[in-house]
């Protein structure tokens, strides 16, 4: 797959992190070294930074996901009240549409990886929600005690 050409079609540059260039990538994009393990970034809607991946298929899926982020409009963000989870879901959907456009097959392993990624947002959102709920419950108790 010609990632460089696909990125170019979307006016994006793509940086592949390797063991050799990792220090330069960290410096240029102000990232942390550990961020670049099986992880990717879109920076200023201009640069896709692909970290060091254990699996090429996962790297490709992340590549489409990051392009997907650039397809999300401000209107959509407003519509979902900047809900991070919904924005991430949408980026996967947009990314899959682009993969389809370029006739990229999603292997069963990659499909599983995508579902796992989506679930990880769900888990962290649920965790944040539960924390808020606990906090609110505590505040409520406090008020009741004051009565």
Cβ nearer to Zn ion, comparing 88 with 94: 88
Q: Whose CA is closest to 65, among 123, 10, 122?
A: 10
| Min CB(147)–Zn ion separation in Å | 46
From residue 88 to residue 107, the character string flagging contacts with Zn ion as x (rule: CB under 5 A) and all else as - is x--x----------------
> For residue 18, which of 41, 47, 49, 58 has the smallest C-alpha distance?
49
Q: Is the dihedral angle over the CA atoms 35, 100, 98, 94 positive or is it negative?
A: negative
Residue 25 vs 64, nearer CB to Zn ion: 64
Min separation Cβ 144 and Zn ion, Å: 41
Q: Which residue do the tokens 């298929």 mark?
A: 57
Residue 107 token pair: 């292997």
Kindly tell me which of 112 and 133 has the beta carbon lying closer to Zn ion. 112
The number of residues that bind Zn ion (CB under 5 A) is: 2
Closest listed residue to residue 44, CA positions, set 27, 30, 62 = 30
Both tokens of residue 84?
């991070």
In whole angstroms, how close is the CB of 146 to Zn ion at the nearest point?
43
Q: Which is nearer to Zn ion, 25 or 65 (CB)?
A: 65
Site pattern 40..79 for Zn ion (x: CB under 5 A): ----------------------------------------
Those residues whose C-beta lies under 8 Å from the C-beta of residue 52, and which sit 6 or more positions away, are 17, 18, 19, 22, 36, 37, 38
Q: Nearer Cβ to Zn ion, position 38 or 134?
A: 38
Q: Which residues sit at the interface with Zn ion, rule CB under 5 A?
A: 88, 91
């Amino acid at each position: 797959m010609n990632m460089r050409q696909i990125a170019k079609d979307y006016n994006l540059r793509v940086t592949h992190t390797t063991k050799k260039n990792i220090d330069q990538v960290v410096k240029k994009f102000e990232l942390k070294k550990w961020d670049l393990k099986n992880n990717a970034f879109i920076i200023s809607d201009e640069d896709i930074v692909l970290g060091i991946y254990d699996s090429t298929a996962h790297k490709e899926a992340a590549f489409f996901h990051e392009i997907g982020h650039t397809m999300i409009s401000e209107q959509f963000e407003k519509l979902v009240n900047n809900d991070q989870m919904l924005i991430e879901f949408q980026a996967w959907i947009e990314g899959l549409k682009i993969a389809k456009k370029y006739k990229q097959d999603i292997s069963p392993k990659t499909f599983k990886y995508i579902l796992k990624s989506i679930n990880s947002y769900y888990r962290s959102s649920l965790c944040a929600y539960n924390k808020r709920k606990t906090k609110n419950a505590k505040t409520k108790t406090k008020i009741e005690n004051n009565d």
